[in-house]
Amino acid sequence: MHHSELGDHAAAIQRLREALARYPQAAPYTLTLLGAELVATRSYGDARNAFELVVRALPHESAAHANYGLSLALAGNADAAEKELRQAVALDHENGKAKRILEAVLVSKRIPGERAAALPPLPVGSKSICPVLFTRDLSGFVYSPRCTSTAGRRRFSGFGSQERNSRRSGG
């Protein structure tokens, strides 16, 4: 995803929409990438719609429910987010991303008026997806990925990519 890596999210979104039309058989994968790009541009409602389609196509995939749960939280629907995130954890008890986002959602629901519910960054080299910082404001949740590559640079690693890669490599 060259445009995404360069920070040109609008171009990445356009290319992904073109790919969806051209290769409908790859829709779940393409929609996952599209949802991630939409989150990066704070188009939370559109991201929610993309991830909902992924969950419909892959109902037994933990990462799909985690992504959908994240998008629901970002769109301001903490109750529905909690339900999806609990489903993600039920499908895969090792899904660190889902557990961390669920924890943040639960904290935000328990402490009304709290400005932030932050989770500490994972150690470098961790196999789990990046922790998330949810900041509550008048518009709902604001998403802020907090992870560091092995080179010490701040980066966003994508939705579910590390879990998929670790499963493929057997680790």
Residues 78-124: tens digit of each pLDDT: 999 999 999 999 999 999 989 999 998 988 887 654 433 343 333 34
- Cα 108 to its chain centre, rounded Å, is 17
The ranges assigned to domains in the chain are: 2-168
Asked if pLDDT for residue 167 goes beyond 60, the answer is: no
Cα gap 131→105, rounded to integer Å = 12
- At 24, is the secondary structure helix, strand, or coil? helix
Average pLDDT over residues 137-151: 34
- Overall pTM surpassing 0.75 (yes/no): no
Cα gap 30→58, rounded to integer Å = 13
The yes or no reply on domain 2-168 and CATH 1.10.3720.10 is no
Q: Are 162 and 145 in contact (CB under 8 A)?
A: no
CA neighbor of 165 nearest in space, from 130, 127, 138, 118? 127
Report the range of poorest mean pLDDT among 59-73, 81-95, 105-119, 139-153.
Answer: 139-153
For the chain, the average pLDDT equals 71
